[in-house]
Amino acid sequence: MPFIDSFRKYMGWCPNGYRMAHVRNRTPWDGLEFNPLPTEDTFINDGILIDYGRTGISLPIFVGLVAGAISIVVIFSLILPFATFRVTSGILMCGLLLPVVLVILARDLRGARLEITRGTLVIRRALSWPVVIQKEEIDSVEIRDNRPPMPAWLQGILFLFLIPVSTAYILSYEYMQFVSGEIASSSFITSLGFYLCIVLLFLVSYYRSRIRSRYPRYLFITTGTRKVVVMYTENPEEIAGMLGRSV
């Protein structure tokens, strides 16, 4: 009937609707994530170990940082009593060490994403903004032998035995002081958190050195903006060739 057909069209009824698959999940438009596919001339390597930083720090900045740290310590020591200063300094150190340890561990566990196009080098690491380096900014590309600063057995003894054992001894001594009433509970808890952060820092440093020691060589890149990129990979020659440099 014309009236029924007109009503169906108004309601959006489709005559072939029974042939369509049933929709189980609906995603709102603002909840969709758009990740465009890379172009054909883009090289992508996931899970690679990459260290990125500066070649050095200027003398005025270094002097300013040291002077600022000393000033903060002196001001707190003059204003606060010794017990309060000890707790405050311990909390501040824990607040500085723990985020650094977690960031280092997250980056090493997840690895980095390397993208090389015709004109750029893009590095994506966990908990960090993407690093974009233009190829014309690259000064040198070298393949260097991976020589750890100390032997693996010495690192194991130092990081896995001496530091944890000495930390346990210090904590046991402070626990005896806490039980005898010589120090407050807040001071003991702060010391416990601080020394645990120290042990965790050395354990993460050992893990960081251990996973990098698997690679006999690494790619060392310097730029004109005083930046350094170190890549630990099985094929450093291939990546160097993609950067337009023969090593």
Tens-place pLDDT, residues 38-59: 445 678 888 899 998 876 555 5
Mean pLDDT of 54-76: 62
Q: Which of 126, 134, 155, 135 is nearest to 47 (CA)?
A: 126
CA distance 126 to 164: 28
Q: Which of 226, 241, 239, 245 is nearest to 115 (CA)?
A: 239
Question: What secondary structure letter does DSSP report for 161?
Answer: I
Q: Which domain holds residue 169?
A: 43-242
Q: Which residues have a Cβ under 8 Å from the Cβ of 155 and sit 6 or more positions away?
A: 148, 206, 209, 210
CA distance 15 to 18: 8
**Total-model pTM:** 0.70
Which of 109-113, 140-144, 150-154 has the weakest average pLDDT? Answer: 150-154
Which of 1-10, 57-66, 203-212 has the weakest average pLDDT? Answer: 1-10
Is residue 18 a part of any domain in this protein? no
Which pair of structure tokens corresponds to residue 192? 């416990």
Kindly tell me if the per-residue pLDDT of 105 is higher than 70: yes
Is residue 95 a part of any domain in this protein? yes
HSE of 88 in the Cβ direction (CA atoms, 13 Å)? 14
What's the pLDDT at 83?
A: 61
Q: Which of 201, 230, 241 is nearest to 98 (CA)?
A: 201
Is residue 16 a part of any domain in this protein? no
Is residue 101 a part of any domain in this protein? yes
| C-alpha Rg value of the chain to the nearest Å | 28
Mean pLDDT of 61-87: 63
Kindly tell me if the per-residue pLDDT of 35 is higher than 60: no
Kindly tell me if the per-residue pLDDT of 129 is higher than 50: yes
Kindly tell me if the per-residue pLDDT of 197 is higher than 60: yes
HSE of 139 in the Cβ direction (CA atoms, 13 Å)? 9
Is residue 195 a part of any domain in this protein? yes
Is residue 140 a part of any domain in this protein? yes
Which of 70-74, 182-186, 229-233 has the weakest average pLDDT? Answer: 70-74
AA identity, residue 240 = A
Q: Which residues have a Cβ under 8 Å from the Cβ of 142 and sit 6 or more positions away?
A: 219, 220, 221, 247
Q: If you average pLDDT over every residue of the chain, what do you get?
A: 76
Q: Which of 205, 207, 52, 222 is nearest to 128 (CA)?
A: 52
Is residue 9 a part of any domain in this protein? no
Which pair of structure tokens corresponds to residue 26? 């609906």
The structural domain count of the chain equals: 1
Kindly tell me if the per-residue pLDDT of 207 is higher than 90: yes
Which pair of structure tokens corresponds to residue 101? 């340890």
Residue 178: band (very low, low, confident or very high) from pLDDT cuts 50, 70, 90: confident
Backbone angles phi, psi at 20, to 5 degrees: -80, 150
CA distance 124 to 115: 8
Kindly tell me if the per-residue pLDDT of 232 is higher than 90: yes
Is residue 85 a part of any domain in this protein? yes
